[in-house]
Amino acid sequence: MISSPPKPAKPKFATRRRLIDATARLFAEHGYNGLTMRSVAHEADANLAAANYHFGSKDALVLEMLSERIQPINKRRIALLEEAKQRNGKLAPSAHEIFHSLIFPIGEEIARSSKSRWSLAQLVARTFTEPVCFIERMHQKFFSQIAKIYYQELSLAFPNAPTNEIHWHLHLAVSSMLGALAQHRRLRDFTEGVCSEEEVGEMINRLIRFVTNGFIMGINSSSAE
């Protein structure tokens, strides 16, 4: 034997990390109920008991994964929003700048995660559509604060618009964003091959413009009455 030959598939990353990454992929593809501890263990090249050893339970594993994926996006959102505010001096950011700060960070993360590119888009969208109740709780924890911030920012940008109209249109804009993220993988089929889903930036930019237009036109026609 020559000096302990390297094991054929020696894991480069810690088991914990591989488990989280495997969980992210499988959750995005199959949802919470479709994700099994056995499939996670297999995908991560780990033992079945490893996930319970490192995280305690399936719920805790998924929560840890979601927290790790979502928190950076939210931080980036706030950063971009602050950037826009400082760039404009005392002027409130425009609707386009506001929705850019909301949606663009998702595109950045999608582009960063080179492996199975659109997995993250599905993952983000799935956190909103999963029927499992503990995910709803986590979801509220992560997003209710963000929602409040964006409502306030839009109120400053449209000082003449009625309160409930801003709420309604922000709700529609966020829903559209999530729907588009969830449906994006169907773009090619839906358009019979005319449009392809390869370019992350193009899709994100189109989405930003779409919800910005829907928001502005809706708000303007409501405050014109």
Partner DNA sequence: CGTTCATTGAAACGCTTGTTTGAAAAAATA
Partner DNA sequence: TATTTTTTCAAACAAGCGTTTCAATGAACG
Contact between residue 175 and residue 167 where contact means Cβ atoms under 8 Å apart: no
Partner whose footprint covers residue 144, from DNA, its own copies, none (CB < 5 to 8 Å by kind): its own copies
Give, as ranges, the residues between 67 and 106 that touch its own copies (CB under 8 A).
none
Q: How far apart are CA 81 and CA 76, in angstroms?
A: 8
Q: Which stretch binds its own copies (CB under 8 A): 31-39, 53-61, 64-72, 91-99?
A: 31-39
Length reported for the chain: 225
* Residue 134 makes contact with DNA by CB under 7 A: no
Residue 11 or 162 with smaller CB distance to DNA: 11
Provide the 8-state DSSP code for 137: H
Give, as ranges, the residues between 38 and 77 that touch DNA (CB under 7 A).
38-39, 46-50, 52-54, 56-59
Q: What is the dihedral sign for C-alpha 196, 185, 139, 213?
A: positive
* Residue 142 makes contact with its own copies by CB under 8 A: no
Q: How far apart are CA 150 and CA 153, in angstroms?
A: 5
The CA-atom distances, in angstroms, between 209 and each of 25, 103, 120, 173 are 29, 10, 21, 11
* Residue 140 makes contact with its own copies by CB under 8 A: yes
- Give the residue carrying structure tokens 């263990």: 41
Candidates 83, 183, 199, 201; binder of its own copies (CB under 8 A) is 183
Structure tokens at 69: 């994926």
* Residue 37 makes contact with DNA by CB under 7 A: yes
Q: From 108, 103, 106, select the one nearest 121 (Cα to Cα).
A: 106
Q: Site residues (CB under 7 A) for DNA?
A: 14-15, 35-39, 46-50, 52-54, 56-59
Q: Site residues (CB under 8 A) for its own copies?
A: 29-31, 33-34, 125-126, 128-132, 140, 144, 147-148, 163-164, 167-172, 174-180, 182-184, 186-187, 189-192, 194-195, 206-207, 209-211, 213-214, 217-218, 221
